[in-house]
A and B are shown apart, each in its own frame.
Chain A
Amino acid sequence: MKTLTRWFSRNLIRIYMVLGFTYLFIPVAYTFVFSFNDYIKSNLVWRGFTFNNWKNPCGVLDVCPALGNSMKIGLLATFIATILGTLIAFALGRYAFKGRAVTNTLIFLPMASPELVLGASLLTIFLNLGMNLGFWTIVIAHVMFCISFVVVTVKARIASLDPRLEQAAMDLYADERETFRRVTFPLVAPGIAGAALLAFSLSFDDFIITNFNSGTTITFPLYVYTHAERGLPAQANVIGSAMFFLALLIVVAGQIVGKKVKVGK
């Protein structure tokens, strides 16, 4: 008994971690398992195992166009937000200028506002301007809420750089531009990649802001939400699971490449 208690107290954190990760992954596992369900109409009750949903992920009306929209919006919003956010991060991390406090506040506020308020206020301005809601209003909204997260991520990376590396480059007669191109930027690049991945995942998964500004355009989260009432096809589970594994693959591959690059140097 005593050894058991000791084992418990020694491994308490590990036990807790297992429980925590179980909680995190229960719905993911459920989604994955039910992507193999031989369902009829609604994917609520387990009826038997099949590969059909995976063989034919676009077999249900609208699901693949919705996925396509999410991908296009996600890539476009990520591209714009990463550029705009990285520029701001460099300004904040590398220059002294007037208006720093205002800039910081403007970056912080969108992150501190509930999505509902962001989505609703954008909708009011789009309505007032008489803009047609759809693909582009979603892109505009996604860029807006992704910028702050990009700034924070890239800025953290810039702040963690050893300033002596840049000084060393300058000592070796690199001019400012060359130092930036050959030293600073490559060192910050992993942070920018991380920020882009974060921005894409925020955009791809966003529901609340998108729902306000989508008009008749359907993204993947909107598809899932509107079909949940009538019964969701297992194809949605297939796409959710596939995205999950794809993201894991990208991150793991990125880590391996990152290590190789480091070793290579």
Chain B
Amino acid sequence: MAAVVRTSGAATSELKKKSLVPYFLLAPGLIWLALFFVAPIITLVSTATKTPGVGIGEFVQTYRWANYLDAITGSAAQFSRSFLYATIATLLALAIAYPLAYGIAFKSGKYKNILLVLVVAPFFCSFILRTIAWKQILGQNGPLFRLLLDLHIVSDTTHLTASAPAVIIGLAYNFLPFMTLPLYGSLERIDPRVLEASGDLYANAFTTFRKVTVPLSMPGVVAGTLLTFIPATGDYVNAEILGNPSTKMIGNVINAQFLNTQDYPLAASLSFILMIIISVLVMIYIRKAGTEELV
């Protein structure tokens, strides 16, 4: 991971070399992260191999590594469903966000800043409220369903909510700004002269887009897809509100184990497995995509 997050911006030679100042600047923030990010992850890992003790709700460390095996075999369906839904939602969000970001970067003139603000604006109207709004819009009493019913596209027995497509639409929707902003960032940085040069060399608009614009926007694609895929995989709110029992994702399982069943070792091993799978996928993906600028 260290190689991945290596900064490629300012050359180190330009930076000031002072022995202690940077450490004073880093210390408060990094101590906070060490205490409330690193230490909790370590606790999580150590909880994962515990087994129930004598008292109710008490767990003792027995290094039972088989907990991981139990966790993965017990929830294999939810794991694969999470990755499937997150992948489809990420692709959907990319398909919606790319033209949006492209339009904002190249076709919006003086409205650029306003449009950018509008991309983030839905964030401020609570995420849960918006997901509930989707449920009601897609629901049988909702405006969309009524419209489709009048157009004879759906019948009374069709359900738009409580289904896998509803969960995926919700996921894609929730993380759309996370996809759009990095895409915009990398598209906006493209020098228009490069695109002109491509045209001068007899490339038509489509070839220019495919051979110049897309490769140059790859850092944005990588950042955007990661910022969508990672939270989408661990999400349980969309599956809870827009799904049904057969669309439960791994987040629903972990949440229920932690907060309802209170089987902390199982919940911890599930969380850790999720984190490991995501990290491995992310590393493979970054290697393949060949980008190093992430932070």
Contact = CB atoms under 8 A, between A and B. Distances in A.
Interface stretch (B67-75, B94-102, B196-204, B212-220): B94-102
A92 B128 CA distance: 35
Given A13-B102, A236-B129, A244-B124, A44 B1 contact: no
Contact of A112 (B44, B103, B117, B226): B226
Interface in B266-295: 267-268, 271-272, 274-275, 278-279, 282, 294-295
A21 B39 CA distance: 41
Interface in A1-49: 13-14, 16-17, 20-21, 23-28, 30-31, 34, 44-45
Interface residues of A, number: 92
User: Helix, strand, loop or mixed for chain B's interface?
Assistant: helix
A243 B126 contact: yes
Contacts, number: 282
Nearest to B10: A159
B133 interface: yes
A135 to B, nearest CB: 15
Contact of A114 (B9, B173, B231, B267): B231
A88 B26 contact: yes
Contacts of A106: 30, 33-34, 37-38
Contacts of A107: 5, 33, 295
B36 A144 contact: yes
Contact of B28 (A87, A114, A123): A87
A96 B279 contact: no
Nearest to A84: B29
Interface of A: 13-14, 16-17, 20-21, 23-28, 30-31, 34, 44-45, 83-85, 87-88, 90-97, 100-118, 120-125, 127-128, 140-141, 143-144, 147, 151-152, 155, 159, 163, 201, 204-205, 207-208, 211-212, 220-221, 224-225, 228, 232, 236-237, 240-241, 243-244, 246-248, 251-252, 255
B29 A147 contact: yes
B33 A212 contact: no
B18 interface: yes
Interface in B162-187: 173, 176-177
Nearest to B251: A116
A100 B7 contact: yes
15 contacts: A23-B96, A31-B125, A85-B29, A104-B2, A117-B41, A121-B43, A140-B36, A152-B295, A208-B235, A211-B255, A211-B259, A232-B129, A243-B126, A244-B124, A252-B117
Nearest to B205: A9
Contacts of A110: 33, 37
Given A17-B104, A96-B15, A228-B128, A108 B5 contact: yes
A205 B231 contact: no
- Ranked nearest first, the 4 interchain pairs of A and B with the lowest CB-CB distance are A114-B234, A84-B29, A121-B40, A27-B133
Interface string B116-159: 01111111111111111110110001010000000000000000
**Among the interface residues B25, B131, B255, B272, which one has the most CB atoms of the partner chain A within 10 A?**
B25
B129 A31 contact: yes
B160 interface: no
Contacts of B211: none
A240 B125 contact: yes
Contacts of A122: 36, 40
A96 B231 CA distance: 33
B6 interface: yes
A25 to B, nearest CB: 7
B271 A120 contact: yes
A6 to B, nearest CB: 14
B264 A247 contact: no
